[in-house]
Chains A and B, each alone.
Chain A
Amino acid sequence: MGGIEGFGIISICMFVGVFTGALIWACFQKKPFMNSMGTMPLRDGEPVADEKGQSHHE
């Protein structure tokens, strides 16, 4: 069937475009911002595991 190979090429180009865009965007983000985002679960106000991790029944 004719032309079908075009779909694969178009899709690869789209993916490479989006992926490259995401890669560039991620690389140009400032490190303090990235570090801040990475610690977001630890800043949600809920206690972390240490404070309630231990069992009282063995």
Chain B
Amino acid sequence: MSEAMQKPVEPGKIETFKYDNSIVRAFAIATVIWGVVGMSAGLLCAIQLFYPGANFDLQFVTFGRIRPVHTNAVIFAFVGNGMFMGIYYSLQRLCKARMFSDKISWFHFWGWNAIIVAAAITLPLGFTTSKEYAELEWPIKIAIAVVWVAFTVNLLGTIVKRREKHIYVAIWFYIATALTVAVLHIVNGLEVPVTMWKGYSVYAGVQDALVQWWYGHNAVAFFLTTPYLGLMYYFLPKAANRPVFSYRLSIIHFWALIFLYIWAGPHHLLYTALPDWAQSLGMVFSIMLIAPSWGGMLNGLLTLRGAWDKVRQDPMLKFMVVAVTAYGMATIEGPTLAIKSVNSLSHYTDWTIAHVHTGALGWNGFLTFSMLYYLFPRLYNTKLWSTKLANYHFWIAVLGMMFYIVPMYWAGITEGLMWKQFNKDGFLQYPNFLEIVVQIIPMYRLRAIGGTLYITGTFLMAFNLWRTARNGKFAPDTEVQAASFRTQSVVETKHPWGHRLLEGKPMLLASLALVAVLIGGMIEIIPMFVIKENVPTISSVKPYTPLELLGRDIYIREGCLACHSQMIRPFRSETERYGEYSKAGEFVYDHPFLWGSKRIGPDLHRVGGKYPDAWHYNHLDDPRSTSPGSIMPRYSWLLTQTLDTTSLPARISALRRVGVPYPAGYENKAFADLKTQQAKIVTDLQVGQIKADPDKEIIAVIAYLQRLGTDIKAAPAAPVAAPAPAPVKTALLNVKTENQN
């Protein structure tokens, strides 16, 4: 219930109002539930990597479809609800005001969790954009934007109506989060809809890659880091009963962090077809980011000066200390991985996974657990049911983290080095990708043990919190009294717009923060679109045929991107294994790009023409029939499911709108071309004694796979006739000799 309207009061006069605890409890319960769901999905993924049959041959739970369920659930459901739980609790108390609107609070809660349910349903069904951490299709993306705007209004409205004059540093982090996530989500999410559950990214190839990883890394920055830093600045002093070590340091590291983080996105694209200048900016700014990140870490740990004895006794503080330490580890490792020479080893390996989970399990997971252990006793006006159980949770979770991260380091460095190993004759030591995969399977088993331990700890916590709640009495509101710095009552009108909205510092702060985060994005992204030389065109590159396009969309649906990259780096070890390195101009019609970020299986960019059609048919039906020891799941349903061509005209029209040069009216000819290509593949399959139905999905997938990487082997397009001879564009094969590995 919003505060009742009051008569004007004198400044400094005490006012009585209530904090809303119901909304905090709702987000807290959702956090625990989604934590279990998200971690379970992760455990399923982990098991499938050494036991592919764990998908029970069901298309809905293959690794490619479940991995995004895991990432979305742990990031947006678990951390998201955890973030809102902490923000709604701390913001009211730091502002000494109830939330701006109870209605918006509950719209936010139900809207956010409905979105997560929609994600949990649509992702296993294959409705995905394939863009990492932005997989949800356009209707859900619109819903996310609406709910996020509601949250931002609630946040800023509460700040505007605050009784506490000064805006604590935690609130700056919340403001930066709200504004930046909105910008990132909207810009990266731009799609042209095709059907209700399918759209194409407005960006293509290199540009899509840059926008995606500008978004992706800043989802880490402004969803996983800044709000949690804000929460750390509230909950750590509260738990330790100590003031923040250095408020000056918090001011400086806040501005440095939000400015620098935005630039770091290209460190996901080092040694790819992204222009060198963008890669260099990403690398340099990532390294500079160590300073503000460690500023935050040190501020947190040094706040505990004189309170380390409390850490021994209080499980909440134990979790907090490990969280902040893990944050420090992840933020020194991240910049290290962003150095090009280190990245040349680590990219596509499990080292990246180890790094991610140091932050996710350590920083986000442990800080969320810490907040839950802090909040439940207070919300229920009781003590924690069992400190001993909380301590068991702590040690089991730490052990789980170690079993997760250390095997992944081992696996990452092993595979990185083995990929690059040459024998004394100058050939690849391990030419078969599978020779390397079998070496790291034991590490995948250990990682699953780690995940099992971590989720076991989470169950212990859930039980402990449930018993705490049962023993206590929930107080939906906390009545408090506080003096306002204002000359008028906090709620002088129902909607404090106008002069109140423009009042001084919160809006100025929000504006400056927005400017700080926009600069990096604009400087990195705008030249990529404006300066044509960033993406040298290759005249032989043509749009996908109708059949290849449908095959590509099936590739996206099945989540093949989760295991297979399509970006060959300019290293001899890669060109020997996969073929010519990938050029920017080859991806100009790729909506969205499919470069991938992990090689559980080999790179596929030059797989076109490498194997006969029959090999692909058999491989997709049962990977182990062609590749003994493979951990790839079976895709037998592709052989039986009929290809859906009803939306083909809409797909072609949509792609034309975003710049793919399908001729006008091509929709009318597309079906004929599709049939012709299907018939050809069916004929080719007969060579392998396979009698296939041309209308099945497998034919489209084979068409797409056989197209990959073949454009640069094709003859250049004939020059356009003109009154004066026009120079023929040739591919800018910008062959730089990178360091041989």
A positions within 8 Å CB-CB of B: 1, 4-5, 7-8, 10-11, 14-15, 18-19, 22-23, 25-27, 29, 34-42, 44-50, 52-58
Residue in contact with B251 in the complex, picked from A10, A22, A42, CB distance below 8 Å: A22
- Whether B444 is near chain A, meaning CB under 8 Å from some CB there, is no
| Contact yes or no, A42 B243, CB < 8 A | yes
Q: Is the interface of A mostly helix, strand, loop or mixed?
A: helix
User: Of all chain A residues, which has the CB nearest B234?
Assistant: A41
- Whether B377 is near chain A, meaning CB under 8 Å from some CB there, is yes
26 A-B Cβ contacts within 8 A?
A1-B533, A5-B277, A8-B277, A8-B280, A8-B281, A11-B523, A18-B259, A22-B252, A22-B256, A23-B252, A37-B247, A38-B244, A38-B245, A39-B237, A40-B94, A41-B233, A46-B478, A47-B378, A49-B238, A49-B239, A49-B317, A50-B241, A52-B378, A53-B384, A55-B387, A56-B383
| Contact yes or no, B386 A4, CB < 8 A | no
Query: In angstroms, how far is the closest chain B Cβ from the Cβ of A52?
Result: 5
Known: A23-B252, A42-B238, A45-B482. A54 touches B93 (CB 8 A): no
- Whether B480 is near chain A, meaning CB under 8 Å from some CB there, is yes
| Contact yes or no, A22 B255, CB < 8 A | yes
| Contact yes or no, B243 A49, CB < 8 A | no
Q: How far is the CA of A36 from the CA of B165 in the complex (A)?
A: 12
CB-CB contacts below 8 Å: B506-554 with A: 516, 519-520, 523, 527, 531, 533-534
User: Of all chain B residues, which has the CB nearest A40?
Assistant: B168
Q: How far is the CA of A57 from the CA of B390 in the complex (A)?
A: 11
| Contact yes or no, A11 B241, CB < 8 A | no
User: Of all chain B residues, which has the CB nearest A29?
Assistant: B248
Residue in contact with B256 in the complex, picked from A1, A19, A58, CB distance below 8 Å: A19
| Contact yes or no, A54 B387, CB < 8 A | yes
Residue in contact with A46 in the complex, picked from B251, B378, B467, B534, CB distance below 8 Å: B378
Closest 4 CB pairs of A and B: A55-B387, A44-B93, A38-B243, A38-B244
Known: A45-B96, A57-B386. A34 touches B247 (CB 8 A): yes
| Contact yes or no, A19 B383, CB < 8 A | no
Q: How far is the CA of A18 from the CA of B478 in the complex (A)?
A: 40
CB-CB contacts below 8 Å: B313-339 with A: 313-314, 316-317
| Contact yes or no, A49 B310, CB < 8 A | yes
| Contact yes or no, B534 A1, CB < 8 A | yes
| Contact yes or no, B248 A52, CB < 8 A | no
- Whether B692 is near chain A, meaning CB under 8 Å from some CB there, is no
| Contact yes or no, A19 B377, CB < 8 A | no
| Contact yes or no, B234 A26, CB < 8 A | no
Query: Which A residues are in CB contact (< 8 Å) with B96?
Result: 44-45
Query: Which B residues are in CB contact (< 8 Å) with A56?
Result: 382-383, 385, 471
| Contact yes or no, B520 A11, CB < 8 A | yes
| Contact yes or no, A34 B277, CB < 8 A | no
Known: A18-B516, A19-B256, A52-B378. A37 touches B93 (CB 8 A): no
Report the count of interface residues on B (CB-CB < 8 A).
63
- Whether B443 is near chain A, meaning CB under 8 Å from some CB there, is no
Residue in contact with B387 in the complex, picked from A7, A19, A39, A58, CB distance below 8 Å: A58
Query: Which A residues are in CB contact (< 8 Å) with B277?
Result: 1, 4-5, 8
Query: In angstroms, how far is the closest chain A Cβ from the Cβ of B430?
Result: 39
Query: Which B residues are in CB contact (< 8 Å) with A26?
Result: 248, 251-252
User: Of all chain A residues, which has the CB nearest B278?
Assistant: A4
| Contact yes or no, A7 B527, CB < 8 A | yes
Residue in contact with A42 in the complex, picked from B237, B385, B533, CB distance below 8 Å: B237
Query: In angstroms, how far is the closest chain A Cβ from the Cβ of B565?
Result: 27
Q: How far is the CA of A22 from the CA of B291 in the complex (A)?
A: 15
- Whether B388 is near chain A, meaning CB under 8 Å from some CB there, is yes
- Whether B287 is near chain A, meaning CB under 8 Å from some CB there, is no
Query: In angstroms, how far is the closest chain B Cβ from the Cβ of A48?
Result: 5
Query: Which B residues are in CB contact (< 8 Å) with A37?
Result: 166, 168-169, 244, 247
CB-CB contacts below 8 Å: B335-387 with A: 374, 377-378, 382-387
Known: A7-B527, A19-B259, A40-B94. A45 touches B387 (CB 8 A): no
- Whether B240 is near chain A, meaning CB under 8 Å from some CB there, is yes
| Contact yes or no, A55 B94, CB < 8 A | no
Query: Which A residues are in CB contact (< 8 Å) with B206?
Result: none
Q: How far is the CA of A16 from the CA of B654 in the complex (A)?
A: 44
Q: How far is the CA of A45 from the CA of B15 in the complex (A)?
A: 14
- Whether B260 is near chain A, meaning CB under 8 Å from some CB there, is yes
Query: In angstroms, how far is the closest chain B Cβ from the Cβ of A3?
Result: 9
| Contact yes or no, B251 A45, CB < 8 A | no
Query: In angstroms, how far is the closest chain B Cβ from the Cβ of A30?
Result: 11
Query: Which B residues are in CB contact (< 8 Å) with A10?
Result: 523
Query: Which B residues are in CB contact (< 8 Å) with A35?
Result: 243, 247
CB-CB contacts below 8 Å: B152-185 with A: 164, 166, 168-170
User: Of all chain B residues, which has the CB nearest A25?
Assistant: B251
Query: In angstroms, how far is the closest chain B Cβ from the Cβ of A44?
Result: 4
Q: How far is the CA of A7 from the CA of B530 in the complex (A)?
A: 13
Known: A55-B383, A55-B385. A45 touches B314 (CB 8 A): no
Query: Which A residues are in CB contact (< 8 Å) with B310?
Result: 49
Query: Which A residues are in CB contact (< 8 Å) with B534?
Result: 1
| Contact yes or no, B169 A7, CB < 8 A | no
Counting chain A CB atoms within 10 Å of each CB, the highest count among B241, B248, B275, B523 belongs to: B248
Query: Which A residues are in CB contact (< 8 Å) with B386?
Result: 55, 57-58
Q: How far is the CA of A48 from the CA of B93 in the complex (A)?
A: 13
Q: How far is the CA of A21 from the CA of B46 in the complex (A)?
A: 48
Query: Which A residues are in CB contact (< 8 Å) with B239?
Result: 48-49
Query: Which A residues are in CB contact (< 8 Å) with B378?
Result: 46-47, 52
